[in-house]
Amino acid sequence: MADKKIRVAVLYGGRSGEHDVSLRSAASVIRNLDRDRFEVIPIGIDKQGCWRLQDLSKFGPDDVSMPMDVDAPQVMVLPHPSKESSIGGNLVAVSGGSSTLFHMAFPVLHGSFCEDGTLQGLLEMADVPYVGCGVLASAIGMDKDVAKRLAQAAGIPVVPWVKVDLDDWKFRRESLVQEVHDKLGFPCFVKPANAGSSVGVQKIINPARLGLAIQDTFKYDTKILIEKAIIAREIEVSVLELIDSPEGPRVSVPGEIEPTHEFYSYEAKYLDDNGARLSIPAKLRDDQTQEIQRMARETFKILGCEGMARVDFFVDRFKGTLYLNEINTIPGFTSISMYPKMWEASGLPYKELLSQLVDLALNRHKIRRKLVR
């Protein structure tokens, strides 16, 4: 392998509501992967969940999104490692009987069936090295209710919330509404427990609309969260695992999201070019910055994360109290996404960041291959 490039299968698209966001993230990743070290194999997953081998020549230098040719050859990952590579990897069987080799996967997918541990489980079964968190951390990071419970148990402050699943809503609707009134008050946010990019999130000011909002949010998930609305600044940091580091993962300088909408909705993030102002680094006191970085590092370790994550916080505008908002195990990688931009502001260029993520994935796979089964 010394004289050969590492063949990286970039996986993008997917069945989630964040499909289009993934296409934009993938465009940035593919454009910035170091071609001296890596050969890119673009694999698009269409909205029906079909994996298709894409033609990289159709990706133009000015394209902001990766193309998704739904008529491209279908592919499947064979469930056994390739014997042609000492670093692992796999063969992708292409419709028509041919196959192509890749050494590792770089998932650039967001949301359900992508970021929630399901894809990671498939890659584990196929013995494919892959960038980012493993099965458990991915599943926990996607489930906001479980992530909050674990963080709270470890002493990380979180915004008060009420969890509602379908049976709760069916059999004890009145008591749940009363619990929201008593524990959270109004305004509050209703959101799917397992979704990203603010998909399905509603801000409820009028208590009379709570029931309708809950019912509507069940379109997106079978479990939802109702959170107390905090008048707060939205602060984010990027976390990157390091190989053989006694200090633990590295944390970037913080960045701040200042929405121009009522809150940082899907529309503000992706549909309105002026939906938010980004400030990197965020204007914080030194002690606030250090505490946010400490909490991010602790959250990363508590949830069992590997590779990378973006950790989001609220800072109460009146009291200055810090709250963990959520963790994103496959953060956005578009040209304007906070994860790479905060690393650039911390002295780590985009291309080098991607190379480090690939190296982390290969190192983790090498270690796991030595385990006794």
pLDDT tens string 248-295: 899 999 999 987 756 554 554 555 456 678 999 999 999 999 999 999
Of the candidates 50, 63, 60, the residue with the CA atom closest to the CA atom of residue 11? 50
Give the pLDDT score at 365. Answer: 92
User: Which parts of the chain have pLDDT scores under 70?
Assistant: 1-3, 79-93, 95-97, 196-198, 261-275
Domain with CATH 3.30.470.20 in the chain: 140-157+231-329
Give the pLDDT score at 96. Answer: 66
CA 124 – CA 307 distance, rounded (Å): 15
Can you name the CATH fold of 161-228? Dna Ligase; domain 1 (3.30.1490)
Of the candidates 185, 128, 141, 137, the residue with the CA atom closest to the CA atom of residue 160? 185
Tell the burial category of 79 from Cβ atoms under 10 Å away from its Cβ (0-12, 13-18, 19+): exposed
Give the pLDDT score at 260. Answer: 74
Strands 99-102 and 188-192: unpaired
* Mean model confidence pLDDT for the chain: 90
Q: Name the architecture of domain 6-131.
A: 3-Layer(aba) Sandwich (3.40)
Give the pLDDT score at 373. Answer: 83
Domain with CATH 3.40.50.20 in the chain: 6-131
Asked if residue 236 lies in contact with residue 223, where contact means CB atoms within 8 angstroms, the answer is no
Please list the residues that pair with 43 across neighbouring strands. 11, 53
CA 92 – CA 44 distance, rounded (Å): 13
Q: How is residue 55 annotated by DSSP? A: -
Asked if residue 130 lies in contact with residue 107, where contact means CB atoms within 8 angstroms, the answer is yes
Please list the residues that pair with 308 across neighbouring strands. 240
CA 194 – CA 158 distance, rounded (Å): 17
Quick: pLDDT tens for 319-334: 999 999 999 999 999 8
The distance of Cα 288 from the centroid of its chain, to the nearest Å, equals 25
Give the pLDDT score at 112. Answer: 82
Q: Does domain 140-157+231-329 have CATH number 3.30.470.20?
A: yes
Domain with CATH 3.30.1490.20 in the chain: 161-228
Contacts of 261 (CB under 8 A, 6+ apart): 267, 268, 272, 275, 276
Give the pLDDT score at 267. Answer: 54
Give the pLDDT score at 158. Answer: 97
Strands 255-259 and 99-102: unpaired
CA 164 – CA 229 distance, rounded (Å): 17
CA 86 – CA 44 distance, rounded (Å): 26
